[in-house]
Amino acid sequence: MTTSPTNPHSRPEETEHHEIDRLGQDLRRNAAVIPRRPQLDWIRQIRSQFECFRTRMKQHLAWEEERGYLQVVLDRRPTLSGRLENLRTEHLDLCLLLDELSRIAERMTPERLLLVRDFCNRAGDLIGYIEHHESEENDLLEFVFSHDIGTKD
């Protein structure tokens, strides 16, 4: 099964991950090229792009928590509860960072170039943190299921 958002057989979470990844990559790409003198239109565009990403990411994190965050991991491997709790705590930290960047974005103006640069650098870093977090979740799931089905002798 492919994970394309246009594939009618995709699971909703696959489509959601794909969309968040796309939004994050677009934001990262646009934040990586800061104009020497950012104009208000550029600032508004990147602010809007970030707010779309932020909203979608926070909804996704809340959705994961509501579903019983990686409960299948805890059910199969209770000894991994510490690692799972670390990942759950990262959800709180990611939300905090998203909100903090939103406050900085609201203060950006063409005259406040330092804020613009800081926002863009931190947005790129945050996307990297999110990618790492998702990778850790995937690694944990893969570990649990590959060991449970006996592929790791």
Q: What are the tens digits of pLDDT across the range 47-60?
A: 999 999 999 999 99
Report the chain's mean pLDDT, rounded to a whole number.
89
Percent of the chain with pLDDT over 90: 78
pLDDT for 148 equals: 57
Tokens 């799931």 belong to 141
The residue with greater pLDDT, 27 or 147, is 27
Residue 105 CB neighbours (<10 A): 22
Residue 62 has pLDDT above 50, yes or no: yes
CA distance 60 to 46: 21
Torsion angle (degrees, nearest 10) of CA 90, 5, 72, 82? -20
Residue 8 has pLDDT above 60, yes or no: no
Residue 37 has pLDDT above 50, yes or no: yes
